[in-house]
Structure 1
Amino acid sequence: MDLHRHTPPGACDSHIHIYNRAFLAHRDAAGFVDTADVAAYREVQARIGTQRVVIVTPRIYGTDNAVTLDAIRQFGIANARGVAVVRPDVTDAELETLHAGGIRGIRFTLYTPANAVVGFDMVEPLATRVAELGWHVQLHWTAAQIVEHEALLARLPSTIVFDHCARLPLPDGAAHAAFPIVRRLADAGRAWIKLSGPYLDSIEGLDRRYADAAPTARAWISAVPDRLVWGSDWPHVTETHKPDDPLLLDLLGEWTNDTATRDRILVDNAATLYGFGN
């Protein structure tokens, strides 16, 4: 069933990346995506029927969040939010500027620490600072890293958002030790999980519609339906064979098998987490 043809008003794609060569300056252009600017994503929105969007600063920009702020401005802050990347030397004035521009969280991409521009030692001090702004910390960690840093997660004063179904590896999925850790945080109202990137841990792949990732997604939906948001992960920079975005939204409908739950994830949950309508 083409559920993307019945996307509810106010639906949010809670995880995309925008690339704009104007903001590369003297950075290494390796990994740059020429076809992933605001105009290109507007075409995706028209196809999947979403109206709201959350833009996450891509790795190639380091801690320069200008590309994300510019994208929020183009989409309009009423319907767009951003997740930035910062380091502990960020000033309070810079954080205030980011907040005024629509930033509502900071991301720690540490699943491959060797390529990271931030570190585990930065998570707690930065979480303390951004908690005062009502922001969250978004973690792209492996499930093993979640288990290893359980005590750190318990100490964080800010809301936590786990990327890409918490990266539970297959075939373990929800049987992995990270699942109950994340669930306890979500049950306590301290964490959210993004239903995004099914291809990142799928073995079966696009041809099988990432069928092996479905049980993990359904486990999260069954456990904490009020603590989930959905994201396309456009423009799918990890994938050689890129999925069709309407397919990814249709998968959410298949995972929930319930229009009311799907719509809650797309609209109400996202509005709560990102402050749409406030």
Structure 2
Amino acid sequence: MTAVPHSSGTAPPRRAAPPGACDAHLHVLDSRFPGAAPTSGMTLADYRLLQRRLGTTRAVLVQAKHHGTDPSALLDALARLGPDGRGIAVLPPDAPEAEFRRLDGAGVRGLRLSLWNPADAPLAMADIPALAARVAPLGWHLQLHLTAAQIAEAAGTLADLPCPLVFDHMARLPPEEGPDHPAFAAVARLLAAGRAWVKLSGAYLNTRTGPPYPDAARIARAFIAEAPERLVWGSDWPHVTEAQKPDDAELLDLLSDWAGPRQADRILVDNPAALYGF
């Protein structure tokens, strides 16, 4: 098969993706729009090559940190994806109501706060309650990329928010602690209450050992045992944090290894349909 930019390997997954399978976490960086550093191979056209390789058809585009709070690149990509695309934007708490409505009509279903590294975060922990109040009337969620320590420290605040939450990259639990970290219990309580979801993505962000990521597998299986109906999977293409790009087909196959075929299909099809309204 054709090589895909920012993805190792060329073979398809060992197990074919089911019809309607969704990649629920990817980024598009497009230098035609404000804020993006000069990049190559990270456009929607590049991602379409990965879709063909993986066999997924639905996609959730997460606004890249490089584009700041300007959703232009996201909206352009969503318009080209059509009904099989959904978006997660980045907006400040004081954004006009008309902007929220415009994004909702374009397929945006939530806002992301990537706060695990405050040095380059466009927003802050203090913005979470105000943004939750803005998105709740739209039926949107907040997608949170936090460290496990941040989750544990803010557990009380997160439990009181008026909107659903989606935790990025398996809640970034330290690999050596995994589900023994207090953040796992905090997230599990929200899952049990039907108020949160977790993305089974970024295995390479949750490992000390590398492929096939047995320490990340321990975390993923703990969430699968806790609430398989509240999980989605994402590739995290184009893996902007990684100098050595992972093989996305292998990342997709990990899901079946962790969950088994039946639960994997649920996580790829039914759960994202419920969360994003496909």
Q: Which of the five TM-score ranges fits, normalised by the shorter chain?
A: over 0.9
Is 1:220 aligned to 2:220, yes or no? no
Is 1:237 aligned to 2:240, yes or no? yes
- Judge conservation of contact 1:4–1:48 (CA < 8 Å) in 2: no
Paired residue for 1:267?
Answer: 269
CA distance in 2, matches of 1:13, 1:259: 16
- Judge conservation of contact 2:90–2:113 (CA < 8 Å) in 1: yes
| Equivalent in 254, 263, 270 of residue 251 of structure 1 | 254
- Judge conservation of contact 1:252–1:262 (CA < 8 Å) in 2: yes
Is 1:17 aligned to 2:17, yes or no? no
Unaligned runs of 5+ in 2: 1-11
Paired residue for 2:207?
Answer: 202
**TM-score normalised over the length of structure 2:** 0.94
| Equivalent in 33, 39, 47 of residue 45 of structure 2 | 39
SS in 1 for 2:131: helix
| Equivalent in 59, 73, 82 of residue 79 of structure 2 | 73
- TM-superposed CA distance for 1:259, in Å, is 1.1
Q: Structure 1 stretch 4-13 or stretch 105-114: which is displaced more?
A: 4-13
Paired residue for 2:9?
Answer: none
Note the alpha carbon deviations across 1:167-214, whole angstroms, 9 max, x for none. Answer: 001110011000010000011000000000011121112xx3222211
CA distance in 2, matches of 1:217, 1:143: 14
CA distance in 2, matches of 1:98, 1:202: 35
Is 1:122 aligned to 2:127, yes or no? yes
Is 1:139 aligned to 2:144, yes or no? yes
Is 1:183 aligned to 2:188, yes or no? yes
SS in 2 for 1:106: strand
Q: Report sequence identity in percent.
A: 52
SS in 1 for 2:92: coil
SS in 2 for 1:55: strand
Partner amino acid for 1:98?
L
- Judge conservation of contact 2:30–2:36 (CA < 8 Å) in 1: no
The alignment of Structure 1 onto Structure 2 pairs a total of residues equal to 267
Unaligned runs of 5+ in 1: none
CA distance in 1, matches of 2:226, 2:84: 28
CA distance in 2, matches of 1:115, 1:240: 19
CA distance in 2, matches of 1:267, 1:243: 23
SS in 2 for 1:86: coil
**TM-score normalised over the length of structure 1:** 0.94
CA distance in 2, matches of 1:260, 1:201: 24
SS in 1 for 2:40: coil
